[in-house]
Structure 1
Amino acid sequence: MTDETTAEQLRQELKDVDAELAELRRLVGDAQARRGRDSDTSEGFIEPEEIATELTGINETEAVIDVLEQRRERIEARLNALG
């Protein structure tokens, strides 16, 4: 068995990364849409800690998206190199 990755394996990996990126982008969009909104149990104010937690979560997810986009570029380059 060889260590070489086939074009089909790279295409599948690219498909998986694209699906993961789409899901993370959806999550970030949802979080940004909810940001700063009162919950149903809120008494009309949002704690600064709650806002900070939301922003941290969004930033962390965006960082993961950046890493996945870099991975996607590397996979595409390998796929292109195969011809």
Structure 2
Amino acid sequence: MDKSNETSASASVIELQDSVMPIIADLLDSASSRGWTKEQVLDAITFTVAQLRQADEKDPDPADDPSESEPIQAARLEEPANDWPAG
């Protein structure tokens, strides 16, 4: 990776951290008001992240999945032709 890509990647990570940290802080505050400890919340986050990573390894690029808006060719029903002889 060249220097400009590293800088861009670092900026993206910092931007993501700036977005995620307030959410985690709010989650910690909300959970502590319900009696959870900070360690319990962080353990739950760690467990969830591990599950997300495992799911990502099984299906690394959801964009490759067929969309629900695009019918699967094998399952498409064709209408019969309307070319009966007039008679």
- TM-score using structure 2 length: 0.38
Larger RCO (CA within 8 A; separation ≥ 6) = 1
Return the TM-score normalized by structure 1.
Answer: 0.39
